[in-house]
Amino acid sequence: MTQMSVGEFKARFSYVVDLIRNGEEIEVLYGRSKKPIARVVPTKPARRDGLLGCLAGKAGFEMSDDWDLTPEGLFDI
């Protein structure tokens, strides 16, 4: 895990984003005591188990025939 002060975090934000995109965790330190105040971690990839996700098998939906958007197209909005 990389540690950096608030000032360094702000000054090198683009670099920090690249680190996070590559899986690195960043701990942000504050003040003279360098007290950790935050940790920035990469998000988990979004699950695309279908349109209903965790509600699959528990809920359903129907679309009228005049609806122009396909269920697959909902993810492309």
Domain annotation covers residue 46: no
Does residue 56 fall inside a structural domain? no
Q: In what order do the strands lie in the sheet with 2-5?
A: 2-5, 26-30, 35-40
CATH number at residue 28: 3.40.1620
Which residues, other chains included, contact 61 with Cβ-Cβ below 8 Å and sequence gap of 6+?
Answer: 51, 52
The model's pTM: 0.56
Of 21 and 64, more confident: 21
Q: Is residue 51 part of a domain?
A: no
State which H helix or E strand residue 35 sits in: strand 35-40
Question: What pLDDT sits at residue 53?
Answer: 65
pLDDT (tens digit, 9 = 90+) per residue, 7-58? 999 999 999 999 999 999 999 999 999 999 999 999 887 566 555 566 667 7
Residue 6 domain-assigned (yes or no): yes
> What whole-number distance in Å separates Cα of residue 31 and Cα of residue 16?
19
In-domain check, residue 70:
no
Strand partners, 2: 26
**Tally of domains within the chain:** 1
8 part of a folded domain: yes
Domain of residue 15: give its range. Answer: 2-40
Place of tokens 């697959």: 72
